Amino acid sequence: MVDKRKWQAGDRMIASAMVWAMLTILPAGQALALSELQEVEPPSAETGQEAPPPIDEPQSSPDVGLPSPEPVIRAVPQTQDEDMDAAPAISRELPPVDILTDPALLPEPVQRMRQLIIEAASTGIIDNLRALLGSGPTATQLAFGQIDTDPVEYLRSVSGDGEGQEILAILIDLLSAGFVRIDADEPDEIFVWPYFAAVPLDALTPPQKVELLRLVTAGDVEDMKAYGAYNFYRIGISPEGEWIFFLAGH
């Protein structure tokens, strides 16, 4: 068995040698004061190896709370003719409009087109919209620029589920909301859903805010206020029953 006293004596000799080596290798005039010398940890009596350096305790991250819910509005892919650097719309005074909620007040052709869109969307098959979207000069406008693809395929591509069923749900929700009559008795007269597209958001009553929140999230509403206007999807149908547009943005 190793004599413990001899082992401790050997430890002291090693430590002294290390200190002497440090003093002798320093350049002249740069000798360390005794108070500056770091204490040398003696080897372990069990293993003869130096003890490992202390491990810093991990610092706990500050509690920042739960993240806010993300908005559900997704950016619609821009088409070729859209300006990539377009500035956001600024808040402006909108002309007063009458908010309508009774579809029976619509002209008969408008009532019919509204009902046909709802029925096609309720099937869950987006291809059933094709006959209603039209073609050529009277085709329904689906973007602010040119679409170089089939209109049904375009709607499927901007639908969050990839099959178009989210778009179908949006169509039903929009046409179930209140609407407005724009440019009444003028050549460009049109019926627009939802009415939020034609009223200032900061003037909504509490019940109207609830109606808006049935379409979008609270985060989306805040983004719209910063943008200056409602910028989710809207639908336009002419008095003759032509489906003029189904657009997102402003």
Residues 235, 119 share a domain: yes
Interacting residues of 8 by C-beta distance below 8 A, sequence separation 6+: 45
Q: What is the pTM of this model?
A: 0.65
Residues 48, 114 share a domain: no
Q: Output the six-digit token pair for 244.
A: 């003029």
Exposed/middle/buried for 248, CB within 10 Å: 0-12, 13-18, 19+? middle
- Sequential pLDDT tens for the chain (250 residues): 444 444 444 455 444 444 444 444 444 444 444 344 444 454 444 445 555 555 554 444 444 443 444 444 445 555 444 443 443 343 345 567 899 999 999 999 999 999 999 999 999 999 999 999 998 889 999 999 888 899 999 999 999 999 999 999 999 999 999 999 999 989 999 999 999 999 999 999 999 999 999 999 999 999 999 999 999 999 999 999 999 999 998 6
Q: Is residue 85 part of a domain?
A: no
Q: Cα(177)–Cα(65) distance, rounded to whole angstroms?
A: 36
Q: Cα(126)–Cα(59) distance, rounded to whole angstroms?
A: 53
| Structural domain that includes position 215 | 99-247
Burial 205-244 (b: 16+ CB within 10 A, else e): eeebeebbeebbeeebbebbeebebbbbbbbbbbbebebb
Q: Which of 52, 67, 85 is the last residue of a domain?
A: 52
Domain count, the chain: 2
Q: Is residue 125 part of a domain?
A: yes
Residues 138, 200 share a domain: yes
